[in-house]
Chain A
Amino acid sequence: MHSDPSRPDSGSPNSRPLVLSLAGITKRFGALTANNAISLDIHAGEIVALLGENGAGKTTLMSILFGHYVADEGTIHIADATGALVPLPGGSAEAALGAGIGMVHQHFALAENLTGYENIILGTVPLWRPGFGRAAARRKIAGLMRQSGLAVDLDIPVGRLSVGEQQRVEILKALYRDVRVLILDEPTAVLTPQEADGLADTVRRLAASGLAVIFISHKLHEVLALCERIVVLRGGAKVADRPALGASRALLAELMVGRPIPTRQRTAGHPGTSVLRLAEVDVGRPGERDRLTGASLDLRTGEIVGIAGVSGNGQGALAALVAGLQPARAGVVEIAGQAVGSGPRQRLAAGVGRIPEDRHRDGTVGALSVAENYVLETIAAPENQRGGFMKGRAIRERAAAAITAYDIRCPGPDVAIRSLSGGNMQKVVLARVLERAPRLILAHQPTRGLDIGATTDVHRRLLAARDRGAGVLLISEDLDELFALADRIAVIHAGHLSEALPAEGLDVRTVGLMMAGHAGEAA
């Protein structure tokens, strides 16, 4: 009904059978229209990218499709076994699964205490049955692994697998359910570049076998390399639905944000004196997962050193060391040429500014106001208190000034910070750090979860701080971010920190190999 049989071109998606058709999907949460009359057709064997900033409505749309929410208006039709389109009842994950829709969430839906095999068959066998019917299930999974090229040990608890392996279990879990539409939500966010390449190969093989894939991502280069069609959502509405061929990153970014994104000229830093020196530092006990062994680093004023690596390889220990939350068990830690005692207070006094990895957990106190969060780290300073009483008005005025200067979208300095969006919350943290003009900025995943607009802003501020003469230690999993900002890049893997090399001499592939622990091959 939606396909156009008059088109002779067999390679075009429209000549392939339609498997999923969304028509006029609208979803409102109170005053907010999260999805506004979105229509979307997906064909067998097609790889469709779903792009959009945070809050554009991607997650809501997929949640409706997967039965977590019920749409206020609109219909969903999905092809049944004969290929005829039948309506999909809303609000039931079971119905969506039964109809052949599978989703690999960004946060994996895996029970870590179960093995991969147990996770895959969970929910596929009747609960009231003595056994699992192992042999048949095993045969089917083995066949799927051969066909898709996904290899993973399915007999150990999933919690002991790497993130990339867990993702393979997730995909196998979906395939085991005979899905015809596979939704991948930010699948490469947690992968090394090599793993991401492997995933892209898998997705192509699956599509070639007739599976329709919806690929949600904000990494534009991946989308352009992998997908044949690109759908862009903005403000809850579909603003573009076009072939990937001929699209450019700048065009897509503009479609997502709704205004041109200024392209920034990368400028080189001007390194000066040492601001952070680590020599043979050990942090954490042997056997702990997130720890450092024999780490050495020299960060100077006016430069950004990027630390690349898959999360959990010692980044937490490095950040905790620099912030003074965890002491060094061995080795030398110097800030601006002086040995500084451990402890967050001493580090703050020594001029360390901290942008923590998890702004909800370590960066802000949700119940406190924007103004209170703004002065959280300097509450004892004379400008914020006298005789043990907070200078309420002065603090609010300074916070109000920061709200203007950093373009923080919020009703005012007195609202609880937890009501702010992630990007605006991060701007409060950024304002708090930069206000003190720190000589050393620890930026741990500073743009995690932020959209393009907020990310660009954070990047601009970090570069400005560097040009002002601060040394920036940028810990990130996002290689694009590291290559866009860092003057030198070091890789952290299994607690070992590599030498920081000039970013110009490095490429994504080399860093990716080092992230996966193949230092020898990369050198």
Chain B
Amino acid sequence: MMLAALEILTQANFWAAAIRIATPLIFGVLGALICERAGVLNLGIEGIFVAGAMSGWLAVYSGLPLWGGVAVAAGTGALFGLLHGVLTVPLGLSQHVTGLGITMLATSSTYFGYRVAFPNVSTPPRIEPFPPLHIPFLSELPFIGTVIGQQSAFTVLAFACVGAVAVLLARTPLGLAIRAVGDNPEAVEAQGLSVMGLRIGAVMAGSALMALGGAFLTLSAFNAFYFGMINGRGWVCIALTVFASWRPGKALIGALLFGALDAYQLRIQTIAGGVVPSQVFLMLPYLFSIAALVAVARRADYPRALMKPYFKGQR
């Protein structure tokens, strides 16, 4: 049995699943990280996932191309981001309370919209999702080919976003300003930049990424929208952001680790399921999240101005 447990790690299918599970989390962690780097905690993430999943899928269902659905999802996320940004930045409301409110608003209005659009449907209508990825030469390789063959172009977008966000934060004046506004908004104000504009913009961009995480589920991983399909993925991203120390590269590692654990527990259930209750394995990824947080969070270098509203002219 031990051997079988280890053997899972050698299966291409396992690694393909790990990446597939990690992809929405990559979007989510990147989004949360951008918001928090700018000093705004966005607990609307869970609801924005739901809204992104549904809006992207609905757009494709009504005839838009798949990438059009991706754009619609991002736009929907940005809109909820705008709402969160306006409530927390110029108005300075509690970021916790507002974020949870956004999650409830986005989730319930999405469910409502779904029911209005499809009043009498018991099985959710389907769309044609993103096709499997085919890369010349790489797809022919034995192991790697199998792993790639189970991904889609949406996954490639996630990995590209990691690089793009990393470059944005580290190498561009805009990234510099975002990092600064989450550490000391007075410094940004004193340099003649708009704290409000930067923060709202960052929350909108971050929320758009979160919505892409949701859209991946309906446009690539599955082919329909279900109630409850987000299932806490957003909250996992909030924890992974701390684990990642607000760095895009580490965010990728954290998401992949979580994806691997989740894929692993699914497979080990079939091996050890008779001995240990399956719920124990279901807990594994979350236990990992808690353990990782305990290990990392004590030393975590939080953005200094995170969750601190800034009011102009007040020091």
Contact = CB atoms under 8 A, between A and B. Distances in A.
Contacts of A98: 192
A111 B189 contact: no
A114 B170 CA distance: 10
Contacts of B187: 108-111, 119, 122
B191 interface: yes
Contacts of B315: 105, 107
B188 A107 contact: no
Given A93-B190, A97-B192, A103-B190, A112 B184 contact: yes
Interface in A42-65: 63
A68 interface: yes
Given A105-B186, A122-B188, A132 B180 contact: no
Given A114-B180, A122-B188, A123-B193, 11 more contacts: A93-B190, A103-B190, A109-B187, A110-B187, A112-B183, A113-B183, A113-B301, A122-B191, A127-B172, A129-B172, A130-B172
Contacts of A3: none
13 contacts: A63-B313, A93-B189, A93-B191, A105-B190, A110-B184, A112-B304, A113-B303, A114-B176, A114-B179, A119-B180, A121-B176, A122-B176, A132-B176
B174 interface: yes
A69 interface: yes
Interface in A71-121: 92-94, 97-98, 103, 105, 107-114, 118-119, 121
B141 to A, nearest CB: 34
Secondary structure call for the B interface: helix
Contacts of A111: 179-180, 183-184, 187-188
Contacts of B277: none
A69 B171 CA distance: 34
Contact of B186 (A92, A107, A130, A131): A107
Interface residues of B, number: 24
Interface residues of A, number: 34
Nearest to B184: A111
B173 A132 contact: yes
Given A103-B190, A109-B187, A109-B190, A131 B180 contact: no
Nearest to A94: B192
Name the 6 nearest CB pairs between A and B, nearest first: A123-B191, A94-B192, A111-B180, A68-B313, A109-B187, A111-B183
Interface in B236-290: none
Nearest to A131: B171
Contact of A122 (B171, B177, B304): B177
B194 to A, nearest CB: 9
B115 interface: no
B204 to A, nearest CB: 15
Contact of B191 (A92, A97, A131): A97
Contacts of A173: 191
Nearest to A70: B313
Interface string B291-315: 0000000000101100000001101
Nearest to B192: A94
Contacts of B174: 127-128
A123 B188 contact: yes
Contacts of B191: 93, 97, 109, 122-124, 173
A505 interface: no
Contacts of B188: 111, 122-123
A126 interface: yes
Interface in B63-84: none
A179 B179 CA distance: 25
B182 to A, nearest CB: 8
Interface string A118-149: 11011111111111100000000000000000
A130 B313 CA distance: 31
Given A109-B190, A111-B183, A123 B177 contact: yes
Contacts of A131: 171-172
Nearest to A112: B183
Contacts of A69: 313
Contacts of A125: 173
Contacts of A126: 173
A24 to B, nearest CB: 21
Contact of B192 (A63, A118, A119, A123): A123
B313 to A, nearest CB: 4
A173 B315 CA distance: 20
Contact of B171 (A66, A108, A130): A130
Contacts of B172: 127, 129-132
Contacts of B189: 93, 109
